[in-house]
Structures are given as C-alpha cells and as structure tokens.
Structure 1
Amino acid sequence: MLVTGFPAGMFQTNCYILAQDDARECVVVDPGQDAAEPLFEFLAASTLTPTAVLLTHGHLDHVWNAYDVCEKFGIPAYIHPEDRYMLTDPGRGIGPTMKPFIEGLDFIEPSEVIELADGDTIEQAGISFAVDHTPGHTQGSVVLRTSVDGENGPLDVALTGDTLFQGSIGRSDLPGGNHEQLLQSIADKLLILGDDTAVLPGHGGSSSIGVERVSNPFLVGLSGSK
C-alpha cells in the first residue's frame, strides 16, 4: 500500500494520501491550508483519483482545502458531527486570537458530507478504516486506523490527527478542548494498541505507539493494555 504525505500551510499540517498498490484510486486525509495545489500535482503525476476526504477533526488547518478537493473530484468528506460546524464557521474553533487571519474569508461545506461515529468502518479505494472517537483536542476528533503490508507482514497504522504527536499531544486550550478528556481518549483508544502500531500525526514526524508509550512525557501515568 502507498502511504505518503506532506506538510502544508502556515501550520505545516500533514496531508496524507493512501492507496492500494497498483490501484487507480486513493483516499485523502486532512487537506488543510495550501494543500490543494501540491495534492493535485501529486495526483496528476501518479494517475491516482481520490474517492473520499477523511477529516480527523474540524480545525481550519486540517479542513481548509476539503471543499476544493471534494468539489474537484465529486467526492464526499467524512467528519464527526461534533466538528461539522467548523466546515462553514471555522472561527468558532480557533478562538479570538486567530480569527483575524480569516476575516473576510468565506468557507463552504462540501456538497456531500458523511458523519462519522465511534466504531464505524469506512471502505474507500479498497482500504478499510476503523474510526475511533477521541474527544479532547476537539469534541469531534477521531483517529483513523488501517493496516498496510510491511516488510515483515501487516503493519497497523493510526492516523492520529492532533490527538497524539511524536513526543507530545494535542492542545486543549481552544474552544471544545478538554485536557483530561484528551488524556482519557489516548488511554482508552491508543494505548490499547500494539507497540508496533505506526502513528501518523497531524503535525510533525511519525512514531509508534510503543515509542510514545515509553518516551512521551505527556503519557506518564497513563495505561492501556496491549
């Protein structure tokens, strides 16, 4: 399976593309600010066509170009209902300090929006994604889990959005954030995963559950049975 990504925009948000080997279709995760142009260039060069946009949460730096991607290809966007309002009113999710950056800009919801729920399974482009609702960074944050073929067999992958980073966790001081809830979500939904599970976060480099379990200072005292 192809799993690739690139950071985009002023917040360097990771936009991911996933496709089965030799497939003509793919899935796009979190096309944020300034992600559309490099994404379209990559898709044209690789002859891949997206079938869906999956959004780990509603913050503007993750959904900014969702409308452009969805409308260009006539595909749906998936988002948890608790964060759907940010597709058209992103200022409510970023707080008063950041609102001046988007003053005068209009944001439009994609023509087709499918709401996610905890425990859902999404089948797109021949790939199966499990949905884990992980509130705390936002109330509609989700982690998307799938499996890819690795050198030593299947490798579990978790697209963690802004819930868990390499060496850190998501902020909880924006509207809808809750630090204790975020830690509980990580304990309940991520620390129960196997140590080899790859972590592909919304910002920064990749990691694994095992590395974060033992080295992430924010996870001290949290537990989750493997």
Structure 2
Amino acid sequence: MYRIDSRILGMVGTNCYLLCNEDIKECVLIDPADRADEIRKMIDESGCELKGILLTHGHFDHIMAADDVREKYDVNVYASCDEKNTLEQPHINLGESYGMNLSVKADVWHNDGDVLKLAGFDIEALHTPGHTEGGTCYYIKDIGVLFSGDTLFCGSVGRTDFPGGSMSAIVRSIKDKIMVLPDDTKVYPGHGEGTSVGYERVNNPFLV
C-alpha cells in the first residue's frame, strides 16, 4: 500500500509531495519547495522513515528546503546529471531574481532511465528537458504514478522562457516520455491540480 501526502508551499504555490510505502514505513520526498518546518512535520506525522529527496528540476521554488531536510534526516538528494548548472547557479535557478543566493548540490546525479530503488519503490528517472535543461519526471510503474514537476500540468506544459527552456524540447519530451505511459497513470505536477496521462492525451492543447 502507498500513500501520497502533499503540501502547497512557497511564494508561487509549489507542490511538495511525500510518497509513503505503508508496508515498510519508508518514504521519499519530491521537491522540498519551502518551509522546512512544515515539511518536517509532514514527514514526522507520516510515521515513515525518509529515504531520499528527489528534485524534478533546479528552480528555486522547488529546492529551497532541500539542504535543511537533507541535514535533518541524513539522506541523499537526487537530481538529473543535466541539471547541475541550474541547481548550483542562482542566476539560472531564478533565486537571484528574488534576492536569494541559492545553490544546491545533489548527492546522486542520475541519468535518463536510471531506476532509483528507494523506500521499496522502483522509481524511474525520465529526463524531460524543455522547462530546464535537466528537468526530470519520476515514474513508479508498479503503482501507476508520475511526478511531473514543471514539465506537464493539467491542460498545460511548463514555461519555456527561462534559461535552458525550449518549447520544442518540452513538447518532444512529453510526447516521447510521458504520452507512451498507460492512460490511467496518475500525474502529480509541480503546480496546480493532478491529472492523468489519458486526460492530457485528449485534452492538452499543447500536444495536439
């Protein structure tokens, strides 16, 4: 059995998710957006032991609490090998625009297609550039769940006017990596409400 807890955090309403494996009482955190205190509360109240932090991409609004949570629970931060510049450079991760000298270093840099074995889940890292150079969606086939970050939203796609962005790349990423998944795959995006692959296949105007 699995459970997904979430919080909407930070100045732009970023979704922070906690994927819990109820059978073994372990969990994984996706995009520690802000408010480390609120995230710690979510983790502690879950009754599960945190096993890792997954970053879908390096923009400031998805990573502000990463270092605090990593230090508190002594776990690794995972990110795409193509996202190093975005994560580490404040002028690229947009933190500088908000007066923040924000830089995060991952402990594990994954490649496209790598399977991360965390909290009893096989989590496939699907590299989906377009919003950023190293944007990543995390797919758990066994439970039919995809954490899409800012690549795919309900009825929309991520912005491509930031450093490293490309509309052609993001549409290609979604079509090649996400639209090949089963229609009933639940999609948990970085902002806004959830959706499914099947719904986006029919209704997303960017994919027609």
What range describes the TM-score normalised by the shorter chain of this pair? over 0.9
Secondary structure of 1:115 counterpart: strand
Distance of aligned partners of 1:182 and 1:74 in 2 relative to their CA distance in 1, 3 Å threshold: same
What is the Cα deviation at residue 205 of structure 1?
0.5
Query: In structure 1, what is the equivalent of residue 15 of structure 2?
Result: 14
Query: Who is 1:208 aligned against?
Result: 196
Which stretch of the first structure deviates more once superposed, 173-182 or 48-57?
Answer: 48-57
Gaps of 5+ in 2: none
Gaps of 5+ in 1: 149-154, 221-226
SS in structure 2 at match of 1:39: helix
Count of residue pairs the alignment pairs up:
207
Aligned equivalent of 1:223? none
Q: How does 1:123-162 map to 2 (within 5 A)?
A: 123-147=117-141, 155-162=143-150
Question: Does the aligned pair in 2 maintain the 1:93–1:176 contact within 8 Å?
Answer: no
- CA positional deviation for 1:108: 4.8
Q: State the secondary structure of the residue aligned to 1:10.
A: coil
Whether contact under 8 Å (1:13, 1:62) holds in the other structure is yes
Residue of structure 2 aligned with 1:99, choices 78, 96, 99: 96
- Stretch deviating more after TM superposition (192-201 or 43-52): 43-52
Superposition pairs of residues 1-226 of structure 1, within 5 angstroms: 1-34=2-35, 36-94=36-94, 99-102=96-99, 105-109=100-104, 113-147=107-141, 155-220=143-208
**Secondary structure, in 3 states, of the residue corresponding to 1:160?**
strand
Aligned mates of 2:10, 2:44 — CA distance in 1: 21
Contact 2:152 2:174 in 1 (8 A): yes
Give the deviation of 1:22 after TM superposition.
4.0
Instruction: Tell whether the 8 Å contact from 1:60 to 1:86 is kept in structure 2 after alignment.
Output: no
Q: What is the TM-score normalised by the length of structure 1?
A: 0.86
Which structure's CA Rg is the greater one?
A: 1
Q: Separation in 1 of the partners of 2:205 and 2:103?
A: 39
Which whole-Å CA distance do the structure 1 matches of 2:112 and 2:189 have between them? 19
Query: 76-85 or 179-188, which moves further after superposition?
Result: 76-85
Q: Distance in 2 between matches of 1:27 and 1:206?
A: 19
Q: How many angstroms apart in 2 are the aligned matches of 1:88 and 1:134?
A: 19
Q: Distance in 2 between matches of 1:88 and 1:119?
A: 23
- What percent identity do the matched residue pairs reach? 39
Contact kept, 8 Å, 2:18 with 2:43, in 1: the verdict is no
CA drift of 1:210 comes to 0.6
SS at match of 2:108: strand
Q: Distance in 2 between matches of 1:32 and 1:90?
A: 15
TM normalised by structure 2 equals 0.93
2:90, 2:101 within 8 Å by CA — same for their partners in 1? no
